[in-house]
Chain A
Amino acid sequence: MGTMRSRIVSSLLLAAAAVSSFAAQAEDVKRGGTLVFARPEEPLTFNPYVPADNGSIYAIVQVCDSLILADDTGLGIRPGLAESWEVSADGLTYTFALRDAKFSDGAALTAADVVFSLQTAGGPTAAYAFGFEPIQSVEAVDDRHVKVVLKRPYTPLISVLSLFAAAIVQKAAYEADSDAFGQKPVCTGPFKVEEYSRGSRVVLVRNEHYWDKGVDGQPLPYLDRIEMLYVPESNARVLGLRSGDYDVIAIVPFNQARQLEGDSEVTVEARPIYRLDYVYLNHSKAPLDKKEIRLALNYAADREAILNTVYFGYGEIPNSYMPKVNYHSEAVEKIPYDIEKAKELVAAAGYDGTPIDVMFSTGDAPAKQIATILQQSWQAAGLNANIVEFEGGTAWDMTTKGEYQAYVSYITSDINDTDELAVIEADINSGTNAFFTWYNNPDVIDMLAKARQSPDPAERAEIYAKVQNTVYHDGYSVPLNFLPSINAHRNYVHGWRVVANGWWWLKDVWVDK
């Protein structure tokens, strides 16, 4: 049985070379110091197999590495704890050569830790277990090699292994007490958790055993310490940045971004990420069970106006039911704003006046604004729309139970492969009922299964384009915006980068105060 070298590796090396060429020069970099970073969310746990919230995920990736890592842009991947890997000719066996890395407590990384971690990641209680479902077994070949055997070909595997949910943890520490691990994880990432106070802040300090090197040839990270503060009030974050209390703030409100751009001591960045803001529709609830009504909602949505008033021009009007991940097709035709067409569809559906409750979460100002705008245009199309407001936890709970009709919210992708979200959103058997839409199209489910197993990128691209066209034009949801991530930092912060997955790599950030 011959083996073939993954073609990804060689393209990775090219990408890495390209990135380092425009990265900072060795003599520029200043080591040490503290970064004060204000975020609107906080981590709920550092246990990588539990959470699905961005507050936790974005913090976990600073502390825990996976076999594969998202690269500097997030569009590609690079070797992480696996230095290299080989794939068998039938595409069913992946063998990973482990890096000579150490955990934050100084103990060496072993194959046993990797086997334990991947088994836990695919275990019955793990939140992202669906991504590991095609894995038959994970075993140690020797102390430095781990073999992953698949049930059937599964092309997205390498991307899935770059998930935060595929993080490698220290077996002994995790097995001893997984709750304590959630507070003080033992991983191989660039930082370790020094202090974790729920509701206020997390302090990360440099992991002196980290394996990766900076541009000066010395081990990363450059920073000694990161104070990650939980500041949900957006005005407070902006004021804190301007006054210099915070070095970096995540999520600048759109209305203040332009104004903040005028501050000469601050840099504002809007980076495209794998994110789609959209209105979830529950296809199991009348009148949304009718395709005509769902399409009418789409035709009656004035996305141009929403882009200008709510998002202040940041973003792009979508032509898809999911974020722009690697197999996104630009060819799918957008549903235009056409109120007459919407009226025709409403009439054709024989609409009986059943009200549609448009839900948003308390405190989500853009969502409230969107609900207000949509309510008016949907009423103009002859639909009976109400606005309802619920506290975030309650709203999410109602969504997962299917006790809602329309919910103004968003979705983000954690990996650079279309498979993750395409399956979660459009396959009713994926465990989330097609991401709480109860959308059920057997043709789409077949196509997705085929795309998962195909090793040919051209074939996968063709299938995903077809899926995108079908699901989008089935009126799956009301897509509103491919929203970028808007963050701001003071000018003395260098190397700040948002990756397409939505988070930021803090390992090569440095400050020159």
Chain B
Amino acid sequence: MTAAVRAELARWPASLKVGSASFALIVLTGLFAPWLTAYDPYTQDLANFLQPPSWQHPFGTDQVGRDVFTRVLYGIRIDLQIGFLTTYVPMSYGLLLGALAGYLGGWFDTVLMRLLDVAVAFPFLVLIIVIIAILGPGVHTIYIAVFILAWTMYARLARSEMLVERGKDYVLAARTLGYPTSRVIFRHAMPNVINSSIVFSMADFVLNILLVSGLSFLGLGVEAPLPEWGAMIAEGRDFIFDAWWIATLPGLAIVLTGVSLSLIGDGLAHRLGQRQRSFL
């Protein structure tokens, strides 16, 4: 470990350390899922259905005899993939559009902000359900729906940050030096505009996992028999009194992931805030 890395780690707040460590553990568990379990997430064993947790099946088996532990592990891959794509794809163009609008102003800013007002005026979940009703359920539809709607928050954040940064001395200095606009925006202003979006993306990541879980719960999400956590909870709901493990353990997985990401978000806000202050 180099001294620089050690110095950086020393400045990390405890929440960031704990959150990163547990999130890293979740990611690794997902990556190595096939080596961590002897079962397949899809193979049914109808003779051994609704078995309570035991040494053979640490999380028990579900209503068609699939190993719940295995399904929760494979669920990490699905849920994190969904969370990542539904957060960072909209963030990328949301940031870009917001930063441009904030820096350039004028008609571009006006048109973008009106578009944004329209998108925000509708309840998010209702719009998603409408889009799913038109295109049919499935993960790809959720991606399309979220890509259409979810960039607005990032655009708004980036725009307001950019409005502040635009008037600061270092941006004025860069402009006075005659740097091209693209360089001023992307090399100079953007690193400071991006911070609040990164912090927000952590919370957004959790909310998106919950959104997809919620849609699966309503039957509008992933197709059966994919081991998505929300879908597993929905299936287990009918057995909650006699087989609590089917719904509860995927639920705990969501909670654990959510807490890890929130801790990272908190820690990042703290750490990035420090850095920003040290620049000034």
A: residues with CB less than 8 A from B are: 234-235, 238, 253, 255-256, 259, 302, 305, 308-310, 362-363, 365, 368-369, 371-373, 375-376, 386-391
Nearest CB in chain B to that of A233: its residue: B237
Among the 9-residue stretches B12-20, B175-183, B198-206, B238-246, the one with 4 or more Cβ atoms under 8 Å from chain A is B238-246
Contact of A309 among B42, B65, B238, B241 (CB under 8 A): B65
Query: Are B235 and A363 in touch, CB under 8 angstroms?
Result: no
Task: Report whether over half of chain A's contact residues are helix, strand or loop; otherwise say mixed.
Answer: helix
Among the 9-residue stretches B120-128, B218-226, B257-265, the one with 4 or more Cβ atoms under 8 Å from chain A is B218-226
Which B residues touch A390, using CB under 8 A?
Answer: 137
Given contacts A255-B238, A255-B242, A368-B235, are A309 and B223 in contact (CB under 8 A)? no
CB<8 Å pairs between A and B, sample of 5: A309-B65, A365-B238, A369-B63, A372-B44, A375-B225
Query: Are A389 and B219 in touch, CB under 8 angstroms?
Result: yes
What separation, in Å, do the CA atoms of A372 and B224 have in the docked complex? 7
CB A384 to nearest CB in B, in angstroms, measures: 14
Nearest CB in chain A to that of B238: its residue: A365
Nearest first, the 8 A-B pairs at minimum CB distance are A362-B219, A305-B46, A365-B238, A387-B224, A309-B49, A389-B219, A309-B46, A372-B225
Nearest CB in chain A to that of B46: its residue: A305
Query: Are B223 and A387 in touch, CB under 8 angstroms?
Result: yes
What separation, in Å, do the CA atoms of A375 and B224 have in the docked complex? 10
Query: Are B218 and A235 in touch, CB under 8 angstroms?
Result: no
Query: Are B219 and A376 in touch, CB under 8 angstroms?
Result: no
Given contacts A255-B242, A389-B137, are A373 and B223 in contact (CB under 8 A)? no
What separation, in Å, do the CA atoms of A386 and B243 have in the docked complex? 27
Interface presence of B64 (CB below 8 A)? yes
Query: Are B64 and A372 in touch, CB under 8 angstroms?
Result: yes
Which B residues touch A369, using CB under 8 A?
Answer: 63-64, 235
CB B190 to nearest CB in A, in angstroms, measures: 43
Count A/B pairs, Cβ under 8 Å. Answer: 61
Which B residues touch A389, using CB under 8 A?
Answer: 137, 219, 223-224
Nearest CB in chain B to that of A389: its residue: B219
Query: Are B224 and A256 in touch, CB under 8 angstroms?
Result: no
Which B residues touch A309, using CB under 8 A?
Answer: 46, 49, 63-65
Task: Report whether over half of chain B's contact residues are helix, strand or loop; otherwise say mixed.
Answer: loop
What separation, in Å, do the CA atoms of A373 and B225 have in the docked complex? 10
Which A residues touch B243, using CB under 8 A?
Answer: 255
Most B CB contacts (10 A, CB to CB) among A375, A388, A389, A390 go to A389
Query: Are B224 and A371 in touch, CB under 8 angstroms?
Result: yes
Nearest CB in chain B to that of A386: its residue: B223
Query: Are A365 and B223 in touch, CB under 8 angstroms?
Result: no
Nearest CB in chain B to that of A260: its residue: B241
What separation, in Å, do the CA atoms of A375 and B42 have in the docked complex? 11
CB B138 to nearest CB in A, in angstroms, measures: 9
In chain B, positions 35-71 with a C-beta closer than 8 Å to chain A are 42-44, 46-47, 49-50, 63-65
CB A236 to nearest CB in B, in angstroms, measures: 11
CB B250 to nearest CB in A, in angstroms, measures: 16
What separation, in Å, do the CA atoms of A386 and B42 have in the docked complex? 13
Contact of B46 among A235, A302, A368, A388 (CB under 8 A): A302
What separation, in Å, do the CA atoms of A253 and B238 have in the docked complex? 8
Query: Are B65 and A391 in touch, CB under 8 angstroms?
Result: no
What separation, in Å, do the CA atoms of A305 and B243 have in the docked complex? 19
What separation, in Å, do the CA atoms of A238 and B242 have in the docked complex? 13
Query: Are A235 and B241 in touch, CB under 8 angstroms?
Result: yes
Contact of A256 among B46, B137, B242 (CB under 8 A): B242
Which A residues touch B242, using CB under 8 A?
Answer: 255-256, 259
Nearest CB in chain A to that of B137: its residue: A389
What separation, in Å, do the CA atoms of A390 and B63 have in the docked complex? 21
Per-position binary interface string of chain B over residues 5-43, scored 1 when its CB falls under 8 Å from any chain A CB and 0 otherwise: 000000000000000000000000000000000000011
Nearest CB in chain A to that of B216: its residue: A389
CB B221 to nearest CB in A, in angstroms, measures: 9
CB A356 to nearest CB in B, in angstroms, measures: 14
Query: Are A256 and B241 in touch, CB under 8 angstroms?
Result: yes
Nearest CB in chain B to that of A362: its residue: B219
CB A363 to nearest CB in B, in angstroms, measures: 7
Which B residues touch A238, using CB under 8 A?
Answer: 241
**What would 12 more interface pairs be, CB under 8 Å, given A369-B63, A369-B235, A389-B224?**
A235-B237, A235-B240, A253-B238, A255-B238, A259-B242, A308-B46, A365-B238, A372-B224, A372-B225, A375-B225, A376-B43, A389-B137
Which A residues touch B237, using CB under 8 A?
Answer: 235
Nearest CB in chain A to that of B42: its residue: A376
Which B residues touch A371, using CB under 8 A?
Answer: 224
Query: Are A235 and B238 in touch, CB under 8 angstroms?
Result: yes
Which A residues touch B224, using CB under 8 A?
Answer: 368, 371-372, 387, 389
